[in-house]
Amino acid sequence: MSSTSQKHRDFVAEPMGEKSVMALAGIGEVLGKRLEDKGFDKAYVVLGQFLVLKKDEELFRDWLKDTCGANSKQQGDCCGCLKEWCDAFL
């Protein structure tokens, strides 16, 4: 059973609403700040980017890496979190 963090479970449990981008799994303070500086201040904006990339994991990871410098684990966490959210609510 793969382990998911508490953050992941909290995020996936309910519609994201106006949650900040730091509520995403894998995105902490530093990365969240960077994303906000780029204009991705809410989780739904990042979701939008994920959807624009057609929910392609690899592309989204690349984008994350380019945008906020996330490492592999953080990319994976964020991507998985969004994917699961989409599966549940989209």
Please classify residue 60 by burial: count the beta carbons closer than 10 Å to its beta carbon, then call 0-12 exposed, 13-18 middle and 19+ buried.
buried
Min separation Cβ 58 and other proteins, Å: 8
Give the nearer residue to other proteins in terms of CB position, either 15 or 65.
65
First to last CA, the chain: 24
Q: What is the DSSP track for 12-28?
A: HTS--TT-BGGGSTT--
The string of DSSP codes covering 27-58 is: --HHHHHHHHHTT--BHHHHHHHHHHTTT-HH
Question: Residue 7 CB, nearest distance to other proteins (Å)?
Answer: 10
Nearer to other proteins, 33 or 59 (CB): 59
| Residue 14, both tokens | 């309910």
Q: Which is nearer to other proteins, 18 or 73 (CB)?
A: 73
Closest to other proteins by CB, 33 or 55: 55
Q: How far is the CB of 16 from other proteins (least distance, A)?
A: 19
Instruction: Tell me which residues touch other proteins (CB under 8 A).
Output: 1, 3-6, 49, 52-54, 56, 59, 62-63, 66-67
